[in-house]
Amino acid sequence: MPELPEVETVRSGLARWLPGKKIAHIEVVHKGGNRQSSDRPFSAILGATIVDIKRRGKFLWFVLDCDCALVGHLGMSGQMLIRPKTSPDEKHLRIRIDCGDRKRELRFVDQRTFGWMAIDELVSTDLGEIPRSFQRIALDIFDPNFDRTAVIARIRRSKSQIKKVLLDQGIISGIGNIYADEALWLAKIHPERQAELLSESEVRAILRAVRQVMKRAISRGGTSFDDLYINVNGESGYFDISLNVYGREGETCRRCRERIRRIAFTNRSSHFCPRCQKPPRNKVAQKRPITRVRRATH
């Protein structure tokens, strides 16, 4: 599932080609691509010029020279591809956008239909204009206005487990299961530790780690294991990032050689090193005492 680094890779790819182009035609090939309810039809942006492509967390929007924006989310498997008009339609093509280019067009392809594109109106905020539906999404860690001190304080007020807090898009956006596991391993914090019991320096270390793992992934073009995930030109460029814990259950920790463990986390999993990432104290106390099996004497 695409997280911030993958979406950023898509955004920067789109931003190299789209600005300056005019939206000439939008065809909803399959309505699965337009799930989000919106009062405004796609025709509202016909003729508008694309000014920029922006991102907050995992959400993308096309800044247009009109009073609304084209917004989108890749969901689990969405791709935004810039394809030659002559190339055959992808099996899971949802939306086709003609940007007035003679040779190429933008295609939104999504196998699992959790992704969407829609028209949204813009609202003015202290940080400039943003699409209305993105108002509640917190700033991501790369946003120049990201308020580290406020976010640290907010995390430390939470009674939830730290991993759950990291995935809360209302606190920090853009972090998903993979980068949460990777960042917590790097910061040596167990995913089940209660956020309000973490010290300020531990939370600071976690945020530093989030930034570091995501920055590394962006510089390599996102993660790899999901072969549904293809970059903007349709080339798969996501095979060279090495993950330290995610998907490495049973393999050795690259720091201490202990075996990486996987535990259930909501309907997914958490991966961690049981030696580098010490479990929360209450967990230790909850551990069942070892019961001695008395040898039967006959």
What are the residue numbers of the active site? Answer: 2-3, 58, 268
64 to 93, contacts with Zn ion by CB under 5 A? none
Rounded to a whole number of angstroms, the minimum distance from the CB of residue 109 to Zn ion is 39
Decide whether 152 or 245 has the Cβ nearer to Zn ion. 245
258 binds Zn ion (CB under 5 A): yes
Q: Does 256 bind Zn ion (CB under 5 A)?
A: yes
For residue 295, report the phi and psi dihedrals to the nearest 5 degrees. Answer: -70, 130
Using CB under 5 A as the binding rule, whether residue 153 contacts Zn ion is answered as no
Q: Are 65 and 48 in contact (CB under 8 A)?
A: yes
What does the block give as tokens for 20? 């300056």
Distances (CA, A) of 22 to 52, 79, 81, 101: 12, 21, 17, 9
Q: Is 275 in the site for Zn ion (CB under 5 A)?
A: yes
Among 4, 74, 205, 253, binds Zn ion (CB under 5 A): 253
From residue 26 to residue 55, the character string flagging contacts with Zn ion as x (rule: CB under 5 A) and all else as - is: ------------------------------
Contact between 259 and Zn ion per CB under 5 A: no
Q: Does 255 bind Zn ion (CB under 5 A)?
A: yes
Q: Does residue 245 bind Zn ion (CB under 5 A)?
A: no
- For the record, the structure tokens of 106 come out as 């933008």
Instruction: Tell which residue, 57, 11, 29, 21, has the closest CA to residue 176.
Output: 57
Complex with Zn ion: residue 30 or 188, whichever CB lies closer: 188
What is the footprint of Zn ion within residues 196-215 (CB under 5 A)?
Answer: none
The conformation of residue 221, written as its DSSP 8-state character, comes to T
* Whole-number Cα distances in Å, 72 to 9, 99, 189, 295: 15, 17, 33, 65
One-letter amino acid identity for 123?
V
Instruction: DSSP for 74-140, please give it.
Output: -TTT-EEEEEETTSPPPTTEEEEEE-S-SSEEEEEE-SSS--EEEEEEEEEETTEEEEGGGTTSPPB
The separation between CA 232 and the C-alpha centre of its own chain, rounded to angstroms, equals 16
Q: Which is nearer to Zn ion, 156 or 275 (CB)?
A: 275
| 148 or 255: CB nearest Zn ion | 255
Q: Which is nearer to Zn ion, 224 or 277 (CB)?
A: 277
User: Is residue 184 involved in binding Zn ion (CB under 5 A)?
Assistant: no
Q: Can residue 276 be called a binding residue for Zn ion (CB under 5 A)?
A: yes
Q: Between 257 and 295, name the residue whose CB sits nearer to Zn ion.
A: 257
CB of 122 to Zn ion, least distance (A): 47
Contact between 273 and Zn ion (CB under 5 A)?
yes
Q: Please tell me what DSSP assigns to residue 270.
A: E
Roughly what angle, to the nearest 10 degrees, separates helices 148-155 and 200-219?
120
Q: Is position 172 an interface residue for Zn ion (rule: CB under 5 A)?
A: no
From the list 2-10, 134-142, 168-176, 249-257, the region that binds Zn ion by CB under 5 A is 249-257
For residues 74 and 7, the answer to whether their CB atoms sit within 8 Å is yes
Which one of the spans 17-25, 145-153, 166-174, 252-260 is the region binding Zn ion (CB under 5 A)?
252-260
Residue ranges binding Zn ion (CB under 5 A): 253, 255-256, 258, 273, 275-276
